[in-house]
Amino acid sequence: MSRGKLPRKRTYLEISITANEQQRDLLIPAMLELGCQGFWEPTPSGQEIDTHLLCYIDKSLWNEAKSDALKEELKKILRTDSANASVKFLEIVEENWNEQWERTIQPIEVGKKFVVKPSWSSYDNRDGRIVIQIDPKMSFGTGYHETTRLTLQLVEKYLRLGDSVLDVGTGTGILSIAALKLGASSAIAIDNDEWAMTNAQENAQINELSEKIQIMETPLKDILSTFDVITANLSLNTIVELMKEFREKLKEDGLLLLSGLLTSDEKEILVRLEGAGFAIIETLAENEWIALAARKVK
């Protein structure tokens, strides 16, 4: 899709929350549950280290109930009763978001085979890595978050040549693109966010994969095919809600690669997977986040 066909500009709320690194890791899944569609953690500048998390949500989706829920989450995570002192709101247009990303995102090596880079940045590929070009807009999945890196490592390790792939909650399309570049025969990427759809289409085009990847707004329950591999970098609650459908859409012995999960979620997700007919193959961890590979069993 060309830039001339992008959706009309929308107004977003930038929610700035004062929090340290550990608190930010706990806040992201909470903010995802409230409907936030993107995050930005400022990088260190000189001797000063920024201690806040920026969260973005379409202004039309924010309401008083979500404000109250945010205050309760802040009290639990930040362990303070003065939640109002820890959060600030700012209205922005979409271009402001894009400019922030373009100033901060640089190439990042992931696993043994991948490097993720924006199209505007150069990379000396002396090790012959598989280059995934991702130009993020309002979508999650740049390689800079632990959950994306962990899932890419699982894709690298477990994807087989010729596998069919379903990427649920595709965001930027990064997992589908990575799978195809590793030798998957086909990939379907689904999301329910307008900007994610547009961004994934653009990234598929940048990586010359538009003919191999189907990017759709179709709900998971309405997907008719079955797949060798399903990837899902989502929140715990969403994964649990979709567990039965994941199993239905996987072929026999198919693989489910999950992330978006905190280490504190591990016990529950293991129980849920085993109860739904999956055998755990491997769990990876980075900081407060985990990713899992599980196989569908009879």
Domain topology for 139-296? Rossmann fold (3.40.50)
0.75 cut: is pTM over it? no
Per-residue pLDDT of the chain (298 residues; tens, 9 = 90+): 333 444 456 788 889 998 887 888 888 888 888 888 778 876 554 444 557 888 888 888 898 888 888 888 888 887 654 444 578 898 877 655 555 556 667 899 999 999 999 888 889 999 999 999 998 765 566 777 899 999 999 999 999 999 999 999 999 999 999 999 999 999 999 998 887 888 899 999 999 999 999 999 999 999 999 999 999 999 899 999 999 999 999 999 999 999 999 999 999 999 999 999 999 999 999 988 999 999 999 8
Domain topology for 7-102? Alpha-Beta Plaits (3.30.70)
Domain boundaries, the chain: 7-102, 139-296
Q: What is the 3-state secondary structure (H, E, C) of the chain?
A: CCHHHCCCCCEEEEEEEECCHHHHHHHHHHHHHCCCCEEECCCCECCECCCEEEEEEEHHHCCHHHHHHHHHHHHHHHCCCCHHHHEEEEEEEHHHHHHHHHHHCCCEEECCCEEEECCCCCCCCCCCCEEEECCCCCCCCCCCCHHHHHHHHHHHHHCCCCCEEEEECCCCCHHHHHHHHHCCCEEEEECCCHHHHHHHHHHHHHCCCCCCEEEECCCHHHCCCCEEEEEEECCHHHHHHHHHHHHHHEEEEEEEEEEEEEHHHHHHHHHHHHHCCEEEEEEEEECCEEEEEEEECC
